[in-house]
Structure 1
């Protein structure tokens, strides 16, 4: 489910007041303050992914406080993972101050008063995790979860962001059980980033391996058309041994070579179907998708889709307009 709200739907003179109410409804009970006059612009997009809540916010800069009074009125049953998308934002909580640059993560407890602001535009993604779920990944008696910045220079940041991106991209195809397992992995990764994980090494190692596999798979998808993409090359770029790379893929349904082949076939299929590439021959389509040999491309394509590339293209060409695939 996706909820979208924008100040464009409000009269200009009432936009900031309605923004305050929208934040209270869709984010947290907050006290926004603005010193400038004139119409205010802001937009909120909110999605529910199982037990996770993800909210994108883009708005003009202003001061935001979550005061003790706000917490008392509406305490939260979540922790938050804040991902800075563009620009810079600062945070203050319990005497600590940090600045988030694009790509940085801030993890904190909204039931501890804080303030935040920016010199430009707020542009961030806020993931809210159920307190009970994340608390299970934290060390016993770890106390309050005060603000922690996980910067771009830290390895944990890349693992968390790649896992978050994968969740957002693939959640629609996940069963409720798989989605909750993915949420559990996220909690484990966040717990490790906070250096407060329970002393259970196997779950922690498994979470890191899953997240690293997701990063590797994403890179393979982005570079599948490169004919020189080999497991040796990928392993070297990620600082892994070849054996470790293949062990990572044991966590998935496919080996490295199977995943690469399936990705290339999907790319070739999309090119064959797209109106903009109808002038390109089927052999060239195979090369563009990353296949070195035309015979290999044709054989693999038929195994995957039950028809040759040329026959599939002809079949699409003879479809009635309402039957054809729709492309952006």
Structure 2
């Protein structure tokens, strides 16, 4: 699915909803974007530095019980005060994932400067404020009732920065960014939405020092971590099921059991992801001068003969032939 499925100008019904201030005259932009924010998230009072040159884009998609809201905004301030809460309080919370810029997130008399890759938790039933220079953030919004943490636990989470350099926060940030960059591919996916919520819950619970996940949720989170680890280490020829198990402090036997409900094995997933990356690179015009064997080596196939055999099994023809046929078809 691609961009053709987007609905622009705030019209719904497609895979994503897109609001662009440039679709309106300068005099109508503030009202338009204020309505977009209220419709996509909850009501906020927007206070841009430059109302006449205000330029903003909002992209949203519902993924299971989650709503992803990808916002690119200029220098501005967004305030959710008592008046906005009285107007609409659907008892939602959100995890902001910062992709660009360094805004301040403020709630419950605490404030934190968040950096790219960081997370910030906001309870939308209470007053809050986000302010800063031009930035891009993705808000993952969901009903407060779906978060198995006490009110006391969530009070400890608001107004603080959750560094995204390591641990669960890093995985949440990377996964949310991947989804935001490909909203059409994920929109409506209940299973991926449930997995993301499990991962967010595990990350927030770990921050508060609690274990809020049921066993089945912990398995989902572990699978997400394993899949992310595999994706990040595909270029390493030494990536094996044993290495994956050791990196996640489980036995190879337990790792195999985790994959039993899946359509493939651990080794099968590693091979399939490597081959898919090779396939994409082979048909990328930017790689036209790169030998197929070099592309194979780039993705963990140091032996050209082994790469050619594996590619032929998967796609029916050797890598070089696949590239030639793709160029002819294109």
Partner of 1:64: 78
Contact kept, 8 Å, 2:242 with 2:252, in 1: the verdict is: no
Give yes or no for contact 2:195–2:220 (8 Å, CA) kept in 1: no
Separation in 1 of the partners of 2:87 and 2:188? 35
Shift of 1:126: 0.8
2:168 alignment counterpart: 156
How far off its partner does 1:106 sit?
A: 0.8
Q: What is the Cα deviation at residue 292 of structure 1?
A: 2.6
Q: Is the 8 A contact 2:202 2:211 kept in 1?
A: no
Residues 200 and 230 (structure 1), Cα distance of their counterparts in 2 relative to 1, 3 Å cut:
closer
Q: Give 1:307's match in structure 2, choosing from 317, 320, 326.
A: 317
Q: Secondary structure at the match of 2:171?
A: helix
Q: 1:256 to 1:250 in 2, by over 3 A?
A: same
What's the CA shift for 1:286? 3.7
CA-to-aligned-CA distance 1:28-86 (integer Å, 9 cap, x gap): 21112246564222221112212211111122222221111110111134210011112
Q: What TM-score do you get using the length of structure 2 for normalisation?
A: 0.77
Which of the residues 89, 95, 100 maps onto 1:81? Answer: 95
Q: In 1, are the aligned partners of 2:16 and 2:184 still within 8 Å (CA)?
A: no
Structure 2: unaligned runs, 5 residues or longer: 1-14
SS in 2 for 1:182: helix
> CA offsets per residue over residues 143-169 of structure 1, 9 Å max, x none?
767614312356231232244345555
Q: Displacement of 1:285 after TM fit?
A: 4.8
Contact 1:109 1:145 in 2 (8 A): no
The DSSP-based 3-state class of the residue aligned with 1:45 is strand
Residues 206-215 or 123-132, more deviating: 206-215
Q: Distance in 2 between matches of 1:194 and 1:214?
A: 22
Instruction: Please report the RMSD computed on the Cα atoms of aligned residues, expressed in angstroms.
Output: 3.6
- The runs of 5 or more residues in structure 1 that have no matched partner are none
Task: Give the match for residue 132 of structure 1.
Answer: 145
- 1:260 aligns with 270
SS at the partner of 1:150? coil
**SS of residue matched to 2:208:** coil
In 1, Cα distance between equivalents of 2:298 and 2:203: 39
TM-score, with structure 1 as normaliser: 0.78
Q: Distance in 2 between matches of 1:166 and 1:244?
A: 30
247 and 305 in structure 1: CA distance in 2 versus 1, 3 angstrom threshold: same
Per the alignment, do residues 278 and 40 of structure 1 end up closer, same or farther by CA in structure 2, a change over 3 Å counting? Answer: closer
Pairing 1:285-296 to 2, within 5 Å after superposition: 285-296=295-306
Q: Number of residue pairs matched?
A: 313
